[in-house]
């Protein structure tokens, strides 16, 4: 389905990004894997993708906090690999704190990774997509692009920003064969969510089980975590030709959370 296409998935060394990488590889896309982690493990992940799916998987270690590093990665992709066809802006972090104690450097870091990095990858990917008259930009936002939760001011601000960026770029490239959409998952069981359980328990003065039942799954009428495979399946669908009229959309996949 995506044979001959090149997909860049930021933050694809873990969680949702790794799931999207597998899904797109399974449909024939060549991949740029990006993200933090142990280099041996990342190389093994790329080798397994190549072996399992018969595609090319290249690791580029750009730091999503650093615009120069992103620019170098995108230049390399444009010059050496013919440009990105499917751009999935997925890298993200969370930081939980009451606003009056929110460390300024953590605020800046969340905004850089969760919002600014997508501006940089998009601005540097769009020219080659325009030349090819085809492109797919998928921003992994969050239910927090639509709804707020206390103590997540930077994350909610960044994700609401991503929704605005998605709509704006969709309008700018609408006649170029490029679609731009945001996927808004509810809680997905990944390292990002697991890491915030103890800190949320401490901030709210409740147990870790209460965080799962009364904070996370309370918000989701299905009472289930969204799966990585469900998010990856939606990203894959948005990358197809048949999804060509879906653009500027902010798409929820949250077990009914935002319907309330």
- H helices present in 185-227, as ranges: 191-204, 208-210
The correct pick among 65, 78, 97, 227 for binding ligand NAD (CB under 6 A) is 65
**Of 91 and 178, CB closest to ligand NAD:** 91
| Residues 87-106 interacting with ligand NAD (rule: CB under 6 A) | 90-93
Measured over the CA atoms of residue 66, residue 71, residue 77 and residue 80, the dihedral's sign is negative
Beta strands in the chain (DSSP E): 6-9, 30-33, 57-59, 86-89, 135-140, 178-185, 250-253
Question: Which x/- pattern, by CB under 6 A, does the window 188-207 give for ligand NAD?
Answer: x-xxxx--------------
Do 177 and 134 touch, CB atoms closer than 8 A? yes
- Shortest spacing between CB 141 and ligand NAD, in angstroms: 7
Active-site positions read: 155
Binding-site member from 187, 211, 252, 257 for ligand NAD (CB under 6 A): 187
Does the footprint of ligand NAD cover residue 111 (CB under 6 A)?
no
Whether 185 and 231 have beta carbons less than 8 Å apart is answered as yes
CA distance 22 to 211: 30
Closest distance of CB 130 from ligand NAD, Å: 26
The correct pick among 16, 87, 147, 211 for binding ligand NAD (CB under 6 A) is: 16
Listed ranges 7-15, 120-128, 203-211, 232-240: which one lies at the site for ligand NAD (CB under 6 A): 7-15
């Amino acid at each position: 389905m995506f044979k001959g296409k090149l997909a860049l998935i930021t933050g694809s060394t873990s969680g949702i990004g790794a799931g999207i990488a597998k899904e797109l590889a399974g449909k024939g896309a060549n991949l740029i894997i990006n993200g933090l982690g142990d280099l041996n493990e990342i190389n093994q992940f790329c080798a397994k993708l190549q072996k399992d799916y018969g595609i090319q998987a290249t690791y580029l270690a750009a730091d999503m906090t650093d615009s120069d590093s992103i620019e170098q990665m995108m230049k390399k992709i444009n010059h050496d690999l013919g440009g990105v066809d499917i751009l999935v802006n997925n890298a993200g972090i969370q930081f939980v704190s009451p606003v009056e104690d929110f460390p300024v450097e953590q605020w800046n870091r969340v905004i850089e990774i969760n919002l600014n990095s997508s501006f940089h990858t998009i601005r540097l990917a769009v020219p080659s997509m325009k030349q090819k008259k085809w492109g797919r930009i998928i921003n992994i936002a969050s239910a927090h692009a639509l709804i707020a939760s206390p103590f997540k001011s930077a994350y909610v601000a960044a994700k609401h920003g991503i929704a605005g960026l998605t709509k704006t770029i969709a309008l700018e490239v609408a006649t170029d064969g490029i679609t731009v959409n945001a996927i808004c998952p509810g809680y997905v069981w990944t390292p990002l969510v697991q890491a915030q359980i103890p800190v949320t328990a401490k901030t709210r003065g409740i147990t870790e089980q209460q965080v799962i039942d009364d904070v996370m799954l309370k918000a989701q009428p299905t009472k289930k975590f969204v799966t990585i495979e469900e998010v990856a399946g939606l990203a894959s669908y948005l990358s197809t030709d048949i999804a060509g009229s879906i653009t500027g959309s902010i798409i929820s996949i949250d077990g009914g959370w935002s319907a309330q």
